[in-house]
Structure 1
Amino acid sequence: MRFGLVVNPVAGLGGRVGLKGSDGADVQRRARALGAEPRAAERAALALAELRSRLGAGLTVRTAAGAMGADAVAAAGLRPAVVHEPGRPTTPADTRAAAVALAAEVDLLLFAGGDGTARDVLDAVGLSVPVLGVPTGVKMHSAVFGVSPRAAGEAAALMAAGGTTLRDAEVMDLDEDAVREGRVSARLYGHLRVPDVPVRIQQRKVGGSVTSPSSVGGIAAELRRRLGPGEALVLGPGGTMRAVAAALGADVPVMGVNVLDRDGRLVAADVAAARLEETVRETPAWVAVTPIGGQGFLLGRGNQQISPAVLRAVGADRLLVVATETKLAALGGRPLLVDTGDEDLDRELTGHRPVLTGHGRTAMYPIR
């Protein structure tokens, strides 16, 4: 089977610094100025390393030169065959050109990026060749990505072995400028053909349902009860968490990571990972997150500010999962997911964990 790879080198650059995306040269410059470091090639190499472990080291992967693919292929111990020379700096036009060049030569096109990269691949190849996304972006609401880099490599190997069919999966994207202004505006752009491996390929993000005031109030009361004197509460993003913050008495941005004190006062809004790491090292804290509707992701999608360093400083026993019973039911029994970028931490967080669903109510739910 012939594999191709195209990497968006700047995908995910704005995640940990709290920019809610990485689209546009201005945002990328700002992210770098804030200390962001690209990790797309590293995560692409993880996917290829998994592929190599299953299919052997003799694979040749057709790809673009340098940071757009060849570097990741070599880092995984495989042979790159360069079919596209991108410009410097690389642009979305390079992604589209590389995808077009690769589509005619491969049986499966892997791409490393986020929803914006998925849109570029959609524009370039449509349904002409099967594709599979290696998740390296900030949001990743589309249903074309592996649930983790290694899961993407596993799904690719399964397809090579003839163990899966294909399905058409949604390409979704948010208007990043609208998100930065506090407005969430998602749109369906089309479909790409991906391997049909339900436990390894993520679902698309679905819109939030109406939250019951009694459930949200009960969750807020449970969070307040856990906080001791002088302790802080880190709230992840999302409509559920914003409603919980309101029940605690705070008005917070819907897409940011925010810090509240025990009395519900907003200590810091829309914080980046570096500041959050300083905060939790100086102040005992709890971290509360809610799964993304329809996908089930707790960590690694849209809340990269809650970094592995933050989670290790707080402690796994102080990570609180909150969700209404309606949101859990909408998952249809699928597990909650973590993809922090630290594989050891991900393994520590797997298993069954209590989910706060209301006042005095919890549900044990699996995390994978």
Structure 2
Amino acid sequence: SGTMGEDYFTQLDHAKLMYKVVYSAPSETTAQHTQEAVNILSSFSPDLLLFAGGDGTARDVCASINNEQVCLGIPSGVKMHSGVFAITPQAVVSIIKSMLARKLVAVTEAEVRDIDERSFQEGRVVTKHFGELLVPDDQLLVQCVKCSGLPDDQLSLDDIAAFVSETLEDDVLYLFGSGGSLRHIKEFVGIDEPTLLGVDAWYNGECIAKDANEPVLIDLLGNYPKAKLFLSVIGGQGVVLGRGNQQLSVRVLRMLGITNIQFVGTQEKLHALEGKALQVDSGDDALNQEISGYRPILCGYHDYVLYDIAYSA
């Protein structure tokens, strides 16, 4: 409300911009109010959360959201040492236009930094690390360059598999869905003879279930509180959920939690869609809406792109 946003939208009513006030703030705000507002805004799971300010605002945003939310800073602060700001406000517009045009927009982790107050009082400008935010990259992704005589898709799959293998955590149940891409990842992490059309489960360096059906998945999720699901893009169709993975029922997905789903797809598969949105059909309209929107798609070694996921009734 007020100077935190509402006043500006009121002035722009002639442009017929739709807006909704979701947080009432006092006339004089503190970091706490920014954090509370950001926490409410992020609960709506926006495709892109924009914030205007400097390093202090970036710190408040970083302290208030989960690591899956994509953010971008509009540069308008007195201190901007963080790597989470666009170069100019016009650059922000350019990124939004690219997303609306469904071009491949890279996302990357960027540091949130701010001046260390003690050093500043001593007359030295030293920045301190306060965390990372997931932000759009300012470069559009391009086709991979062929090398070693191997297809681009194969090289990308090797990169994805290596990254997944190196980032597996202890005491986390990993569910790998169906498809050739995920079978490649399953083999890379150490699953012997993984299923092509089924869901395989991996826990603490061991395959604990193959071709798991819905009852098995529900039992696993009931016994392992931390879990993550990898789903791949079906080449040509652009479907990520609802085709060939019926064992991932609404109940299974609810138990898992939407934030624990990681979509996987090479740049080649995404480029082949020619801007068409990825499709989801979980069997539940509310769940479809939760999954829909711009989501980070793992497409290389620590390499993600934002891509639109939609439900067509």
With the length of structure 1 as denominator, give the TM-score of the two structures: 0.41
TM-score by length of 2: 0.48
Select the structure of larger CA radius of gyration. 2
